[in-house]
Structure 1
């Protein structure tokens, strides 16, 4: 039986809430039931269930698969889903990549230190695999992808989902728009690769202070490049 809800709430909305509760009570990927099973469970029509399912799918809390092995499955959103809405909000408010990095910098430093402290053998293996790819990443697009990949590795290692979200903002917001400019110079690309290697090695070695320092230096260098680009832009006016 469904929970009490506001009188003006639609049947589809109530069914959506029930689907959310069902998903959150399960593990990601768990089978929640076939469509006919859920029709009987919720006591609603097929159109109402499908309308509710679309609402919950948009929140990445269920997935619906068709076919003989289809049905409803539990899902979970991740930081990348959340960042899309946050990025749109920040752009509407006029935020710049520099603004975001200024706020996320201390969080990134602490994340690097925590990653060095909490690293596991599996984490070390992932970082070593990432380091092995660094030298081949010599285009602006490659480095944008590498920066985001490394940030996600470090964020997951620190074990704090709030930090994971904040770092996702810091390394994803605006990089597609500014990355080609920031990494256009071969010297900058080599500098970026060197800093990536140094940060990863500090985390692999378990050196919290060096990991924090390398993350700080990376943020400072990135910020300097942003300001240099802004100065050049103003000089052209």
Structure 2
């Protein structure tokens, strides 16, 4: 529920909501964030001095400072120092959001099958969108990422190989939500790979680490070729096979060695 901004609005919420007493900082932060959104999220804009904010939101200095701490942590705004200081609108750092989302998934104990079920749902949509709206600029970006992806590495890199390529495909959709969620799941994949008990080993279904790397590189080439050709169905099919292979690889590594 959106919080009404303006003089007295927060105080009225405190009086009418019996559960709000322990959330004053959060409620005030939400109200300030709502105001930032309504004003068009103009990075660098000043929302006013501490005194002006105290009057506008009708809260104590302690509550306002807690709200500002939360906003600074979220990358929404920062309080400038000195006589000319004020609460200034900032651009949130997507990296912090991605890391928080990945940590939350770890807390909820998202398993490999759930991870790749989610990745498939998002990334098949991404390759289809990009293939249907392919441009010369996008082709150049994909080929550059593919060139970076074809270098050497070890077996661990199969699950995270092409990290930049997977995220780039999501970026090229032009949908920030898809980019954020794919980035979070790719980051989670990297975390899981690093924590697996057999992560220094190759998959039992392959002969060598080089085999695993070659398979991943081949899959990425095929996905890019399908996207560049504008073949959305083929791009979806190849991405689906690639993600399934990655899931199997992680499952193999997570199985205790005998």
> For this structure pair, what is the TM-score category when the shorter chain's length is used for normalisation?
0.7 to 0.9
2:227 to 186, 189, 203: 203
**Offset of residue 40 of structure 1:** 6.0
Question: Is this contact kept in 2: 1:144–1:176, CA < 8 A?
Answer: no
1:170 to 160, 164, 185: 185
Question: Is this contact kept in 1: 2:149–2:217, CA < 8 A?
Answer: yes
Q: Secondary structure at the match of 2:43?
A: coil
Per the alignment, residue 96 of structure 1 pairs with 111
Task: Encode CA deviations 1:203-233: one digit per residue, 9 max, x unaligned.
Answer: 23322122112201211211221333345x2
**Offset of residue 153 of structure 1:** 1.4
Segments of 5+ residues of structure 1 without an aligned counterpart are none
Distance 1:61 1:225 in 2: 39
1:73 to 89, 95, 106: 89
Task: Tell me the C-alpha RMSD between the 2 structures.
Answer: 3.4
Per the alignment, residue 29 of structure 1 pairs with 43
Distance 1:143 1:228 in 2: 12
Per the alignment, residue 124 of structure 1 pairs with 139
Question: Is this contact kept in 1: 2:41–2:89, CA < 8 A?
Answer: no
* Aligned CA distance change for structure 1 residues 35 and 88 (closer, same or farther; 3 Å): same
Distance 1:182 1:58 in 2: 39
Larger radius of gyration: 2
Q: How does 1:1-237 map to 2 (within 5 A)?
A: 1-2=6-7, 3=9, 4-7=12-15, 9=20, 12-25=25-38, 26-27=40-41, 29-33=43-47, 35-36=49-50, 38=53, 41-42=56-57, 47-64=62-79, 66=81, 71-76=87-92, 78=94, 80-139=95-154, 146-178=161-193, 180-181=199-200, 185-231=209-255, 233=256, 235-236=257-258
Question: Is this contact kept in 1: 2:99–2:187, CA < 8 A?
Answer: no
**Structure richer in helix, relative to its length:** 1
Give the total of aligned pairs: 233
Question: Is this contact kept in 2: 1:116–1:205, CA < 8 A?
Answer: yes
Question: Is this contact kept in 1: 2:122–2:182, CA < 8 A?
Answer: yes
Segments of 5+ residues of structure 2 without an aligned counterpart are 1-5, 203-207
Distance 1:141 1:133 in 2: 17
Q: Secondary structure at the match of 1:75?
A: coil
Q: Secondary structure at the match of 1:72?
A: strand
Question: Is this contact kept in 2: 1:28–1:76, CA < 8 A?
Answer: no
